[in-house]
Amino acid sequence: MKARLQKQLKKSIQGKIILITGASSGIGLTTAHKLADAGAHVLLLARTKETLDAVKADIEARGGMASAYACDLNNLEEIDAVSAQILADVEHIDILINNAGRSIRRAVHESFDRFHDFERTMQLNYFGSVRLIMNLLPKMMMRHEGHIINISSIGVLANATRFSAYVASKAALDAFSRCLSAEVHSHNIAITSIYMPLVRTPMIAPTKIYNYVPTLSPEQAADLVANAILKRPKKVATCLGHLASMTYAIAPDVNNKLMSIGFNLFPSSSASVGKPQKLNWVQKAYARIFPGEHW
Across the range 252-260, mean pLDDT stands at 85
Which residues on adjacent β-strands are paired with residue 68? 44
Nearest partner of 30 among 58, 1, 63, judged by Cα: 58
Q: Which amino acid is at 203?
A: M
pLDDT digits (tens, 9 = 90+) for 162-187: 889 999 999 999 999 999 999 999 99
**Interatomic CA distance for residues 146 and 149, integer angstroms:** 10
Active site (catalytic) residues: 166
Which residues on adjacent β-strands are paired with residue 18? 42, 95
Q: Could you tell me the pLDDT band of residue 201, with boundaries at 50, 70 and 90?
A: low
Question: Which are the contacts of 282, defined by CB distance < 8 A and separation ≥ 6?
Answer: 265
CA 63 to chain CA centroid, Å, is 26
Across the range 248-266, mean pLDDT stands at 83
Q: Count the neighbouring beta carbons within 10 Å of the beta carbon of residue 114.
A: 13
Average pLDDT over the chain reads 88
Hey, what domains does the chain have and what are their CATH numbers?
Answer: 2-289 (3.40.50.720)
**Interatomic CA distance for residues 119 and 107, integer angstroms:** 15
